[in-house]
Amino acid sequence: MKKTILLTAILGAATLAHADITHEINPTSSVSLGVWLDLGLQRVGTPDGSDWKMTSSGPPLNRVMFKGQKNFSPDLEAFAYLEHRFRPNTGDNAPGANASAPGDVQLYRHSWLGLRGASWGELRVGRMLNALQEFNGGYEPWKGGTTVANVHTGGINSGVRQNNTLYYKTPELGGLRGHLSVSDSEGNTNNATIADPTTPRALGVQYKAGAVSVAAAIDRGIQQQETRGLYGSYNFGVATLMAQWERGDSGVGTASITRRSIGAVIPAGKFTYMLGYLNQADEKKNRFGAGLEYWADSQLGFYTNVGLNRGDGWTPAQRKAQFDIGFRVKF
């Protein structure tokens, strides 16, 4: 019976559905709806042995997205974005790490209203990633996803999505753009008691030109924990190489730690190969990741990944080989 259930789970390991419905209210205003669904099968190490489980396994996360856009003039556009994450296998909300609100929050992931113009930049107000976290997921082969293979440095102890945030992006000047985020300390304690909270803030700069993309950021969290990051990628055509470097406080009053990762995304026709290595020497942890995607066409894809954790910082169970497998459909 158990083997039959497992086989059924493998055959239907994961699905990803994407809907993007746009309604034009008038020539200057529109609203769109998008849905991502991702259920995968993972083999992860547990204290009692290796355990197969159903969970989000691919780079995207399960989410519902609403977007609004209104043009007022050639250089003034209003936009809004609402996004909520959930677990489709149980129907539960999925706040994940750095959850600043109770588990019953209805719009966990992003919620903002903004204005932008090519001559003056972009201003957003609401709940969103800070300036450091805005960068780092884009310089890792799995884009910081929940796959067992990801080599994301994670921002160390930086905040992730923060409430009551003001975010400004400068106009793009020759591929260069500045980022600044400031958040109110109220509502950003992750439901913990903090004796002397400070204003979370982050500053970053990104440069993109042709095959090159680089970024740098510094973040100071609500408990004065500081994180610095450097990120880069280069598209050689046959492969895109990328790297992350972060140094930050591992906790309040603790010494700083450093994390580094390198990765590659290698397209080959309908196949895409992904390789990565994460080094957390101060934490006595390393990870090797490898993945493969195959797209039968633009709407149907299959993937599998493997992750190997090495180092005394991992538990014996975590050092067991980990796998995931699944397929994606875009409707």
Query: Tens digit of pLDDT for each residue in 208-234?
Result: 999 999 999 999 988 888 999 999 999
| Banded pLDDT at 181 (limits 50, 70, 90) | very high
**59: which DSSP letter?**
S
DSSP letters, 185-228, are STT-STT---SS----EEEEEEEEETTEEEEEEEEE-TTS-EEE
In this predicted structure, what is the pLDDT of residue 146? 78
Take residue 54 and report the two structure tokens written for it.
């159903």
| Banded pLDDT at 14 (limits 50, 70, 90) | very low
How open is the CA angle 311-314-316, to the nearest 5 degrees?
Answer: 100
d(CA 287, CA 261): 9
pLDDT at 39 over 80: no
Task: Give the strand pairing for 201-209 and 212-220.
Answer: antiparallel
Query: Which CA distances in Å does 271 have to 114, 227, 295, 326?
Result: 38, 36, 7, 15
pLDDT at 101 over 60: no
pLDDT tens digits, residue range 261-300? 999 999 999 999 999 999 999 999 999 999 999 988 877 8
The mean pLDDT of the chain is 84
Highest mean pLDDT among 31-35, 57-61, 103-107, 234-238: 234-238
In this predicted structure, what is the pLDDT of residue 190? 62
